[in-house]
Amino acid sequence: MNKTLPLMAGLLLVGSASDVHAQAAAATSPVKPEQPVLTERTVYSGAPMTPEQKAVVFEKADLQFTVDPAKKHLDGNAALTFRATAPVARIVVDLDQNLPISRVEVDGQVLAATAYSNPDGQVTVTLPKPLAVGERTTVRLVYAGKPHVAARAPWDGGFVWATAPTGEPWIATAVQGEGCDLFWPCIDHPMGEPEIVDQHITVPAPLVAAGNGVAMGMEEKNGWRTYHWRIKNPDTYSIALNIGPYELLSADYQSRFGNTIPLRFWYLRGNEAKAKVLFTEFPQLLDFFESTIGPYPFADEKMGVVETPHKGMEHQTINAYGNEYVKTSYGYDELLQHEFSHEWFGNQLTNSDWDDMWLHEGFGSYMQPLYMEYLHGDLLYYTQLNSHRIKIRNKFPVVSGQTMREEDVYSGERGPGGDIYAKGSVILHTLRQLIGDEAFFTSVRRLVYGTATPKPGNFKPRYGSTKEFLAIINEVTGKDYTWFFDVYLYQAALPQLLVQRDATGLNLSWKTQGNGPFPMPVDVRVDGRVQTLTMADGRGRVALSAHSVYTLDPHSKVLRQEDYIDVYQRFEAERMKAMAERAAAEAAKKK
C-alpha cells in the first residue's frame, strides 16, 4: 500500500481495529532490495483518470491466475471488456511493468508488439479500429512474472507468501494502497470499478482459493485446482487472492428484510474451535448493520471472511481477517467489525475520489461506538468514542476539496492520515447530535443506497462524495449546514469555545479558522439544570449567580478544541519520543 500507507485504520487509533487501517499513515514501507522498484504510477493509487479511461464503461474483467507458491510466480491472462461512451481509439489500463506482457489481443486479433506499450505502469493499447459510442471491445493481456511482495502487509501492498502453521503454502494479496495494478490490469482509480469480475484461480492441490462473490465451481486436473468466482461491481482493490489449507464454516442468515444471506468463513486447518467462536459474531454483526444502516448490500453473494497471514482488509464479500481471534475489552472482535463495516462504507458506497476517503474510514470508525451502543448502551458508546477523540491531530483538513492520491490522504505528513478515522467518527457523532437521529440516519441511508428506503433489489453499489452528503443533509433537514462541513471537514483546526465569566453570567463565543459562521448550539448545565444556547450568531450568554457551578456541553455533543486533550497529546508525544530514544540507546549498546 502506500509507501506510508493505509487502508487500514487510523494510524492514531492504535490498539483498535481501526489500527489496521492506518498505523500505515505513520510508517514507511521499504521495498525489499531484491524486488524491482515500482514506478511512481504503480506505487500511487488514484491518479486522475486518462481521457481514454473516462471514455469507457468497464463492463467485465475475466481474470485467469495461476499461482505457483514454489516459484513465487504469477501467470495472468486478463480479458477486459469495455463499452465506449465517447469515441475512443486507445484502451488504457494500469499494470505493474514488472509483470511483462507477452501478448495482447483485441477481439481475438493478436496485435503487433508496436501496438501496445507499458513504459511506466500504464498500458496503452492502440485499437485496430476506433470505437464509436456504444461499441464494445475485449482486450486480452497475457502476462507473467514475480509480483511485488508486500514488505508489511496490509500497509505495504502486494503478495504475501507465507507458510501455514501446518506447513502448507499460505498466500494472500492486499493492494489497497498501491492498487489493483500490482497483479491485474485495471483502471486504478476509485471510479474504475468493473461491472462483473470472473476469477479463475489455479493453485496446487489440495490448496483452496477463497474468492470474491459467488463460487461458480472447481475443477481439479494434474495436481492443480482451478476455482471460479464471480462478483458484481467490486472495488478494484477489493479483488483478492486468498490461498491456503482452508476449511469452511457455513450457515445461512435470515435477514429482517426477508432474504437469506449465506455466511462463509474460511479458516486455517487446526483453528476450528476458535473459528467457531468468531463465527457466532457474524449474525450479530449483520443484525446491527441491517437495523442501523440498512440491507446487507451483497446478500445475493455472501458475507465472506477468510483467515489471512496479514492483519486484514475489506475485500468485498471476502474480508481478510488476521486478528488471531483477539477480542477487546468491549467483548467483540474489533477488526472483524471494522472491516465488515466497509461492505457498506467502501464497497456499497465508494468515494468518487480518494479525497473523500473519510466516507469509508470515518463512517467505518463511527460504526464502532454505534455497535457498542447497540450491544451495551451509552457507557461503552462514549468510551469508544473518547478513544477516537484523543487521537485527533488536526494537522490537515479531513477533505481538501482537490483530487488526492490515496498515498497522500493516508499520510499524516501530507494529508489527514488517521484523522479520516478518528476525526471523521467524532464529526459524525456531532452531526447526529445536531440534526437528530431521524435526519441523520435517513441522510446516511440516502448516501449509501441512493434511497432512504432501501430494500433488497432496489439499489446497487454507487459512488458518493462529501459534497453530495452535504446536499443530502440540507435537503433532509431543510436547512443549510455548509458552515458545519466547512469548519469540521474543510478546515484543519477545531472550533474553539471562548468563555468569559462576569459578575452576573457567562459569555460564550465560537472562534473558528477563517472566522466564518458557526452557529453551533451549546448546552450548559448550571446548578444541575441544562440550558441550550442557540448561538445563532456564534455567541450566547447564560445567567449565573455568584456561587453557581456550570459544565459546558455536559452530554458531550460537540467536537471542539479542548486544552486538556492538547496537554495529554503533548505528554504522550514526549513519552513516546523518550521511549524511542531509550530503545535506540539500548540497541546501540548491544552492537
Binding-site positions for Zn(2+): 338, 342, 361
Q: Which three cell numbers stand for residue 454?
A: 432501501
The packing angle between helices 358-376 and 466-477, to 10°, is 50
CA distances from 301 to 6, 251, 278, 411 (A): 27, 13, 21, 34
Which pairing describes strands 550-552 and 522-526: parallel, antiparallel, or unpaired? Answer: antiparallel
Q: List all residues 6 or more positions away from 576 whose beta carbon is below 8 Å from its beta carbon.
A: none
- Selection from 589, 401, 364 nearest residue 492 by Cα: 401
E strand or H helix at 117: strand 116-117
The packing angle between helices 281-292 and 272-279, to 10°, is 20
Three-state secondary structure call for residue 524: strand
**Which sequence positions are flagged as catalytic?**
339, 421
Distance separating alpha carbons of residues 311 and 323, to the nearest angstrom: 6
| CA dihedral for 50, 418, 322, 213, sign (positive or negative) | negative
CB-side exposure of 38: number of CA atoms within 13 Å? Answer: 31
CA distances from 186 to 43, 94, 171, 300, 415 (A): 14, 5, 21, 25, 26
DSSP 39: P
Return phi, psi of residue 506, to 5°: -125, 125
- Selection from 467, 291, 273 nearest residue 374 by Cα: 291
Distance separating alpha carbons of residues 5 and 304, to the nearest angstrom: 25
Annotated binding site: 338, 342, 361
Q: In what order do the strands lie in the sheet with 169-174?
A: 158-163, 169-174, 242-244, 208-209
